[in-house]
């Protein structure tokens, strides 16, 4: 594991990928602005043919974000809810397991619950 620090520009990630023989890349997104940087990084990885699985976690991302990024950039992006998911997600990424299609298990907002009257249970995206 190589800790590159915090608040990195996408080019710093790409430079590190060139210097080190890494098997996967893990990114913690704690702010919404981080998602923009992650999109730039994934676009740059695609452009430079970096074929690495990417693991994401943090308050600014979720399983839907990971799924959308994976399909947008053609790079496997795996989501971990917290550190307890790390080993499972890393093993899945290293074995190139499929990126799961997220499901919505409940409606988080009361307004949505009223609109859909409980029909949001187990909806597949």
Q: pTM for this structure?
A: 0.75
Query: Domain for residue 114, yes or no?
Result: no
In a domain, 23, yes or no: yes
Whether 80 is covered by a domain: the verdict is yes
Q: Please give the pLDDT value at position 125.
A: 44
Per-residue pLDDT tens listing for the chain (125 residues): 778 878 777 788 888 888 888 889 898 899 888 899 899 999 999 988 888 999 999 999 999 999 999 999 999 999 999 888 889 999 999 998 888 777 766 655 555 545 455 454 544 44
Task: Let me know if residue 76 belongs to a domain.
Answer: yes
- Residue 121 lies inside a defined structural domain of this protein: no
CA-based nearest residue to 98, from 77, 84, 123:
77
CA dist list (Å): 23 to 26, 54, 90 = 10, 9, 10
Residue 42: give the domain boundaries.
Answer: 10-99
Q: What is the pLDDT of residue 108?
A: 57
Q: What is the CATH number of the domain that holds 27?
A: 3.40.50
Q: Is 52 helix (H, G, I), strand (E, B) or coil?
A: coil
The rounded distance, in Å, linking the Cα atoms of 104 and 9 is: 32
Domain count, the chain: 1
Closest CA to 77 of 117, 124, 35, 17: 35
pLDDT value of residue 79: 94
């Amino acid at each position: 594991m190589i800790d590159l620090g915090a608040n990195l520009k996408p080019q710093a990630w790409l430079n590190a990928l060139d210097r080190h023989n890494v098997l996967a890349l893990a990114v913690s997104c704690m702010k919404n602005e981080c998602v923009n940087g992650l999109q730039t990084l994934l676009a740059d990885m695609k452009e430079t043919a970096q074929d690495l699985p990417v693991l994401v976690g943090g308050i600014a991302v979720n399983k839907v974000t990971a799924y959308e990024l994976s399909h947008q950039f053609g790079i496997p992006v795996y989501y971990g809810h917290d550190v307890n998911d790390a080993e499972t997600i890393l093993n899945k990424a290293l074995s190139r397991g499929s990126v799961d299609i997220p499901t919505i298990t409940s409606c988080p907002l009361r307004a949505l619950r009223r609109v859909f009257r409980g029909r949001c249970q187990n909806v597949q995206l």
